[in-house]
Structure 1
Amino acid sequence: MRLDKFLSQNSDSSRSLIQQAIKAGRVSVNDVIAKKGDQKLLGDEIITFDGKQVEAFQTRYLMLHKPLGYVCANSDSDYPVVMDLIRLPRWQELQIVGRLDIDTTGLVLLTDDGQWNHRITSPRHECDKIYRVTTANPISTDTAELFAAGVQLHGEKAPTRPAQLELISSHEARLKIHEGKYHQVKRMFAAAGNLVVALHRESIGNIQLDPALAPGEYRALTAEEIKSVAP
């Protein structure tokens, strides 16, 4: 890898600023001042930039407790976005793994590992997602059977895959689905004659939202959590 490419990937400096720093003698390779940005690296060198060692970033896997009112996007002209909550270098490279609506709270995963993201979000892997649902009206006793059989949503060619509904109270339930259709949970309850007034994602696969995380907080996933959803 070229020296300038390594520095641009592993620091917050732009390629042009890195080139200026190299010309000014502010970058060293194994204690030797670098003279060209296209200098080839073998991978075991010690790189310093303004006297500080630069190490290669590791692939990142995060869980975020998404608050109300945030859009799952890198930018939005009207609303705050979840990326506003991330205070990490190269935050722009993080991908949102399974988006939530602006009025939905709970677990959001982020990573810069595109293959891991795909293994979770690809429909053929049927990664479970569990939501806590609050409805405007009492949940009918036959709703669980309806969801287990599959619901024909407006505008969809095929019914939803079988889903599991666990009643918590007259107006609350946990719903486990394997898909991620547009507004799926809300549309399923609408098809059952009800209205979702609050929606909170508790888990994706075997990863559960850490109860220690307040809305807007995030943490790195453990090695066990990373492997559990996409071995």
Structure 2
Amino acid sequence: MPTLKRLDQLLSNLGYCSRKEARYFLKDKRVRVAGEITKSASLKVDPANVLVDGAPLDMPDGILVMLNKPEGYVCSHDNNEGSRIYDLLPSRWEARNPKVVSVGRLDKDTTGLILVTDDTKLVHQLTSPKNHVDKLYVVSVDRPLEENIVNEFAKGVMLGDGEEQCLPAKIEIIGENMANVTLNEGKYHQVRRMFAACGYYVDTLHREEFGAYCLGDLAEGEWRNLIP
């Protein structure tokens, strides 16, 4: 049995309008329920039966998408920080309730897989340190990689002044200056700091996998819905 929701609250939660503005949507005959135009904002409806401007509701069951983040974009809602990952997604999503957020962050110069969702439980599940969710990064550095870095990462890199130690991480050298790095922590700028502690400067950093999610052939700047 589907959960029925009040029409004006449903439209507001999905970012179409405020609850107050919903009456204008209805007055302008933009909303149909089960094929019929309705003017009742308080009507309890099944979201699957609602059309706005002739189209089904946009992801009424929640949002979980995978985005291939380009360089130069920030994982922030603040317009003052420059180009945002949310600028690559439908603008209506920013008005949704619950709020649409990224699962963790990638810094401005890092590219690749970022998950975006309105599921707060999933955010906690994927980012909680106790769950040890693996993340795979492809890294290029400024000079040839030496084999001893494999052991350094495996025993846990000491960051900064040696007072903060990372958990063991896996590094696979795949080219003279390139490596795959798998870790399950989320310290601030962790991958770059780990390489810096070993004497390398990271030129490019790209996340390819996050837990069970893999970027695959998703083009840069594009996103894919992960909810069936």
State how many pairs are aligned.
219
What is residue 215 of structure 1 aligned with on the other side?
Answer: 220
- Tell me the SS of whatever aligns to 2:159: coil
Q: How does 1:75-114 map to 2 (within 5 A)?
A: 75-87=78-90, 89-92=92-95, 93-114=99-120
Cα gap change, 1:65/1:138 in structure 2, threshold over 3 Å: closer, same or farther? same
Gap regions ≥5 residues in structure 2: none
Amino acid of the structure 1 residue aligned with 2:213 = I
| One-letter amino acid of the counterpart of residue 73, structure 2 | Y
Matched AA of 1:84: D
What's 2:188 paired with? 182
Secondary structure at the aligned position of 2:62 is classed as coil
Written as runs of structure 1 = structure 2, the 5 A alignment for 1:106-125 is: 106-125=112-131
- 1:7 paired with 2:11, answer yes
Displacement of 1:19 in angstroms is 3.0
Contact 1:189 1:196 in 2 (8 A): yes
Secondary structure at the counterpart of residue 195 of structure 2: helix
RMSD: 2.7
Contact 2:133 2:184 in 1 (8 A): yes
Structure 1 residue 206 displacement after superposition:
2.1
1:200 and 1:140 map into 2 onto residues whose CA distance is 21
Summarize deviations over 1:106-130 as a string: whole Å, max 9, x none: 1111111111111111111010001
- CA, structure 1 residues 102+55, in 2 after alignment: closer, same or farther (shift >3 Å)? closer
Equivalent of 2:20 in 16, 21, 31: 16
Residue in structure 1 matched with residue 132 of structure 2 by the alignment: 126
Structure 1 residue runs without a partner (length 5+): 224-231
Matched-pair identity in %:
37
Could you say which residue in structure 1 is the equivalent of 2:67? 64
Shift of 1:222: 5.8
2:48–2:56 CA contact under 8 A, matched in 1: no
Counterpart selection for 2:174 from 147, 160, 168: 168
What amino acid does structure 1 have at the position aligned with 2:186?
G
Give 1:64 shift: 0.7
| Partner-residue secondary structure (3-state), 1:103 | coil
Give the direction of change, closer, same or farther, for the CA distance of 1:53–1:116 in structure 2 (3 Å limit).
closer
Per-residue CA deviation, residues 113-160 of structure 1 (Å, 9 max, x unaligned), is: 111111111111010001111010221221110110011212675410
Does the CA-based 8 Å contact 2:102-2:114 persist in structure 1? yes
How far 1:60 moved relative to its partner?
A: 1.8
Q: In 2, distance between residues paired with 1:49 and 1:220?
A: 21
Length-normalised TM-score, structure 2: 0.83
Provide the secondary structure at the position in 2 that maps to 1:161.
coil
